[in-house]
Amino acid sequence: MRVLVLMGGESTEREVSLRSGRAVAAALRARGHEAAELDVTAFRDLPAQPALRDCELVFPALHGGAGEDGRLQALLELLDVPYALSGPLASALAMDKAATKRLMRGAGIATPAWLQVVWDPAADRPVSVAGRSGARSPDRGGFNAGHVLARAEAELGFPLVIKPNADGSSVGVEMVRDARGFEEAFARAAGAGRDLLLEKYVPGRELTAAIVLGRRLPLLEIVPRKGFYDYGNKYTTGASEYLVPAPIHSPVYEQISADALSLYDLLGCRGMARVDFRLDGDAWSCLELNTIPGFTTTSLVPKAAAAVGIGFEDLVEDLCRDALARTGAGRDEAKAGRGKKGKA
């Protein structure tokens, strides 16, 4: 296979993406494939890249922004370039955390209560707040953090979590324990002029479920050595402990895993996804789904795959063969690959 690995990008997750992309390319080369790396520094320049015409397949190792929210996927489809992982609609829905939560609520998948705050960068203030009780438009004087705080106290309570509505890797996440710290945390989270999600904090255990090619991999429990599973605990070796399979009794284990697969199917995902949960006693809540989870040495999907004997190189190659199988040009090669290995 001739694979072009796209990495980098323009989002706040650029550095993690570079690490993921290099790891993916190295795995493909180790399997004897041609793997070129392209650091996407400006998406507007991507259609002119000769490497797009020379490859058989694109592997998007881009996290956040245009690389994961459906825009890249739509562009590749317009250019008729085969690519791995989810398509434009699933990518866009999953990146919009509030949209995903609305779908979860409609499908009966438990998710923490939330408020969506839409931000106007030009005015540097929120312009609407939407939640279970509906949306509220601004008063004549406009919204401010005090308006958001009043609604958060009434509908969510404390503690709560503030996070960007369309970012990953725990970038910009703020844990707010009481009303006194709200406005300062809200200002930090909104500093980039982005839409925010306020979510009721769910105590308990941090779990993640990996779905690969429609197959449920073992649940994984994350145990940060200090604090919560923030950016530092995600990408610092030794900062967190990972238990796989997660030590959860039946039938809770099976029900969480089933909810993960249901959400994967509901959004129309392809190839791979990671679904995050919190477990408090025997009650669980689904937080979000990631269509391009990390591929670094500390990433979670490779850990879950390894627990059932799927090595990193196998995982990457299988995802590429699955993508080629959806195109006429790659169907014969994909069939040959599946006959050689019966994994994932």
* Cβ neighbours, 10 Å, residue 164: 21
Which residue has 């900062």 as its token pair?
239
Q: For the CA atoms of 185, 118, 227, 279, what is the dihedral angle to 10 degrees? A: 140
How crowded is the C-beta side of 228, counted as CA atoms within 13 Å? 17
> If we measure between CA atoms, which residue out of 277, 235, 215 comes closest to residue 252?
277
Written as six digits, the tokens of 168 are 């990953």
3-state secondary structure of 162: strand
Q: Is 60 helix (H, G, I), strand (E, B) or coil?
A: strand
Q: Are strands 240-243 and 272-280 parallel, antiparallel or unpaired?
A: unpaired
Residue 234 to residue 144: CA distance in whole angstroms: 32
DSSP state of 285: E
- Other Cβ atoms less than 10 A from the Cβ of 154: the count is 11
**Apex CA 35: angle with CA 29 and CA 40, to 5°?**
135
Q: Nearest-CA neighbor of 275 among 48, 26, 107, 23?
A: 107
Among all residues, which ones are annotated catalytic?
Answer: 13, 169, 235, 274, 276, 288, 290, 294
Sign, CA dihedral 101-105-110-111, equals: positive
